[in-house]
Structure 1
Amino acid sequence: MRKHIFILSLACVATLCANAKVRLHHLISDNMVVQSNSDVRLWGWAAPGKKVRVTTSWSNQTYNCQSGKDGAWEVRVHTPKAGYTPLTIKFSDGEETTISNVLSGEVWVCAGQSNMEMPVHGFDGCPVEGYNKVVVDARSHSGVRYAKIPATMSMKPQQDANVKWQVVSPETVGNTSATGYFFGRMLEQTLGVPVGLIEANKGGSRVESWLDYDNLKKSTDEKLDSTSIYSVKTDYYRQLVWGNGTFSPIQKYTVKGIIYYQGCSNVGYHTDDYARRLGILVEQWRKAFGCGEIPFYFVEIAPYWYNNANGTDAALLREQQYIASTKIKNCGLIGNNDGAYKWEMKQIHPSQKRKVGERLAFYALSETYGIKGLIYKNPSLDNITVNGSDVCVKLRNTDHGIYPLYGIEGFEIAGTDGKFHPAAARYDWHDGIILSSPNVHKPVEVRYCFKNFQLGTARNQGGLPLLPFRAKIK
C-alpha cells in the first residue's frame, strides 16, 4: 500500500512539474500600468535553466531569456506611448501565461507613513474631506490604477509581495492612498494618460525604517541585530525591516518618480540628522530602481501639537525637510502649513488630502512634464533687513504678490533678550513683508510658524503657503 502511495505521489509531482507555468512577480499582472516609452523590466521565476519567451500585443518582437540556477529570469521590453488601449503580454516556458488589460502610462511610487497610507475613505475617526464626491467621480478616472503592497517586516530584502492591481472605480477608490489618488487623478486629467500608483508605505514608520542594512551600518548608529530591532516595542518604529519587507519587492519595477509623505515619527528622533538620512534614502531608492535620477517630491509635515502646541520639535523637523530640499537633486518640497484646520490640532491625520496630492501633482506637472503656467513652488525666505525697529522680510517664489496685504498672522520677532513676540505684519510691494512689535525695539531674530502647531496666513499668488522658517538678523 505504501509503495502505491509513494508511486502516486511521484506521479503527482511529475504532473505538477510538467504543467508548471512561468511564475510572475505579483506586480506583473492583469490591470498593471507600465511606464510608457521605456525599456521596462518584466521578471519572475521558472524552473532553473528554462528558456522564457515574452511577446507583447504592441510589437512583433520576441524577447528571450533563460532562468538562472535560482529560477529567476528577467527581460527588458520597450513599451509604447501612453494610451488607453488595453494591451496584453504573453510569457511562456513551454506553457503560456497571459496578462491582460495592461495600460501604458505614468507610474509613480507613493511612499511614507500614515499620511500617505491614509485611504480615500479615511481611518477610523479620521475622515478625508470630500469623500462622497470622490466616489461619484471615480468612474471618470478608471485610467488610474493602484497596487498597495502589504506592510510587512523582514530582516532580509523580500523579492515579491502578495499584491494585485486595482482599477479605480466607485467600489475601489476608497481603499487607495488619498494623497496618492489626488496626485494621480490630477496627472491623468492634465496629461490625458493612464497613471499607475504603487503604494509602499507604513503608518508610523521612520526614515530609518526604510534605509537598507548597508546604509544604516555605514551612515547611522542604529543597532542592526534582530534582537535589538525586534526589542523596539512599537513595531512601526523599527529600523530596516519595513524597507526589507514592504519596499524591496517593488524595486525592479520601472517607475517615473516617487512621492513621499513622512517625518512625523522622526520628530524628536535624530531630528537634527534627518536631512542627511533622507538624502541617503533617496539615493538608495534611485539606485535600486535603476531608472536614473528620478524625481522625488515630498510633503512638509502638517501642523500638529505633539503634546505641546507651542513647542518647536516639529518645527525643527520641518526645517530639516527644507534643508533636504536644497541638497537633494531633482526634488521638491510641498508646503503644508495650511494642511490642518484649527480644530485638528490634536489630529495627526488631517482631512485635507486633496490639496496635498494636487500640490504634488502641480510640482510634477511643472518640473517633470514641462507644463507651463502653473504656480507650484511655495514662497520661502530670501533675505531680511532692518529699518530701525521694523524688520523687512523678502521672499522667493511670490509670483508677483503676497496676500493678505494686511494682518498677516504667524510672524514673531525677538530682541536681545531672546523672547519672541507676535509681530504685526503688512505687505509692501517694494520692501516685502514689514514686521514690527511694540515689545521689540532692536530686533535680532525672526521666525514664521516655527512651532509644532501654528497656522500662518501668508500665501503667494497661487495660494501656496509660506514655508515656516527661523533666521537671525545679521
Structure 2
Amino acid sequence: MVLQRNSTITMSGHANPKSRVILSADWLQESISTQANIDGYFSLRFSTPVAGGPYSMVINDGVDKKVLQNILIGEVWICSGQSNMEFPIRGDWAKLMDADQIVASMHHPALRLIQIKNTTSLAPLDDAAVEYGWIESSPSAASFSAIGYLYGTMLQDSLNMPVGIIDATWGGTDIEAWTPQKSLRNVPEIKNINRLL
C-alpha cells in the first residue's frame, strides 16, 4: 500500500475484545497502543514521514499479530465518478487507443493501485470490498481507471516519489449516491429525495 506522506493516519479495525492493541512501524520511534472496546473495535492515530520506503508495520493484540510489509509513503489520490473516470485502460466494454502498448509498459513498482468493487449501502461501511487491493502497477491491472493510472504515472514522474491511486468509480451513478446523506438533507431543491433518506 501507499500511505499519505507528512500526514496523520487513523487506522481502525477489530481485535480481541478489550485487548491492548500495539502498532509499531519502521518509521515510528516508539510503538503506539490503545485498548479495543468490548466489541473488539479499536482506532489508532499515527504520523507518517516524508516520502520513502519500503517499510513494515506490525499490529498485535497479544493473541493475533498482523504484519504489513512493502509499505510506501508518498502521495495518495482517489479517482471517483462515473463512466468517464471508470473507463478502463483495457476492459471488456472499452479500451484506450494504444491500450496494448500502455498495458505492456505498466511495470511501475512504486505506483500502487487499488480498485474498489461496486457496492451499495444505505449506511457508511467500515471496510470496502475490492476487485484487487494495493498491487504494484503491472499489466494485471489493465482494467484499472485509465485516467487514474495515467494521472498516477504523471504524478510519479513529476514528484519522483511513490504514488497510490484508489479507483472508486461506477458508471451511470447519480451524484447523490456519492454525497453524504447529511449534506443532501440540507438541499431544499431535492426535498423529494430527502424523504427517502
TM over 0.5: yes
Sequence identity percentage: 35
Structure number having the greater strand percentage = 2
Tell me: higher relative CO, structure 1 or 2? Use CA pairs within 8 A at least 6 residues apart: 2
Whether contact under 8 Å (1:58, 1:80) holds in the other structure is yes
Matches within 5 A, 1:53-202: 53-83=22-52, 85-94=53-62, 95-124=64-93, 126-139=94-107, 141-163=108-130, 164-172=133-141, 174-202=142-170
Q: RMSD of aligned C-alpha atoms?
A: 1.7
Matches within 5 A, 1:368-379: none
Between the aligned partners of 1:69 and 1:213, the Cα distance in structure 2 is 29
The residue that corresponds to 1:443 in the other structure is: none
Whether contact under 8 Å (1:121, 1:131) holds in the other structure is yes
Shift of 1:80: 2.1
SS for the counterpart of 2:128 is: coil
Shift of 1:224: 4.8
Shift of 1:123: 4.3
Between the aligned partners of 2:14 and 2:91, the Cα distance in structure 1 is 37
Shift of 1:122: 3.8
The one-letter code matched in structure 2 to 1:223 is: I
Listed one character per residue, the Cα deviations across residues 405-450 of structure 1 (whole Å, up to 9, x for unaligned) are xxxxxxxxxxxxxxxxxxxxxxxxxxxxxxxxxxxxxxxxxxxxxx
The residue that corresponds to 1:210 in the other structure is: 178
Q: State the aligned residue count.
A: 192
Between the aligned partners of 1:99 and 1:42, the Cα distance in structure 2 is 13
Between the aligned partners of 2:78 and 2:45, the Cα distance in structure 1 is 20
Between the aligned partners of 1:86 and 1:180, the Cα distance in structure 2 is 23
Unaligned runs of 5+ in 1: 1-31, 229-239, 241-474
Shift of 1:176: 1.2
Listed one character per residue, the Cα deviations across residues 117-157 of structure 1 (whole Å, up to 9, x for unaligned) are 12111442x32112122122212x22111111111111222
SS for the counterpart of 1:155 is: coil
Structure 1 length normalisation: TM-score? Answer: 0.39
Whether contact under 8 Å (2:56, 2:67) holds in the other structure is yes
1:221 lines up with 2:191 in the alignment: yes
Between the aligned partners of 1:119 and 1:142, the Cα distance in structure 2 is 20
Whether contact under 8 Å (2:119, 2:129) holds in the other structure is no
Between the aligned partners of 2:192 and 2:67, the Cα distance in structure 1 is 45
Shift of 1:211: 1.6
SS for the counterpart of 1:88 is: strand
Matches within 5 A, 1:18-417: 32-83=1-52, 85-94=53-62, 95-124=64-93, 126-139=94-107, 141-163=108-130, 164-172=133-141, 174-219=142-187, 220-224=190-194
Structure number having the greater helix percentage = 1
Whether contact under 8 Å (1:216, 1:222) holds in the other structure is no
SS for the counterpart of 2:151 is: helix
CA separation of 1:222 and 1:216: change in aligned 2, threshold 3 A? farther
SS for the counterpart of 1:200 is: strand
Listed one character per residue, the Cα deviations across residues 20-39 of structure 1 (whole Å, up to 9, x for unaligned) are xxxxxxxxxxxx10011222
Shift of 1:195: 0.6
Structure 2 length normalisation: TM-score? Answer: 0.90
Larger Rg: 1
Kindly report structure 1 stretches of 4+ aligned residues shifted beyond 3 Å: none
Shift of 1:171: 2.5
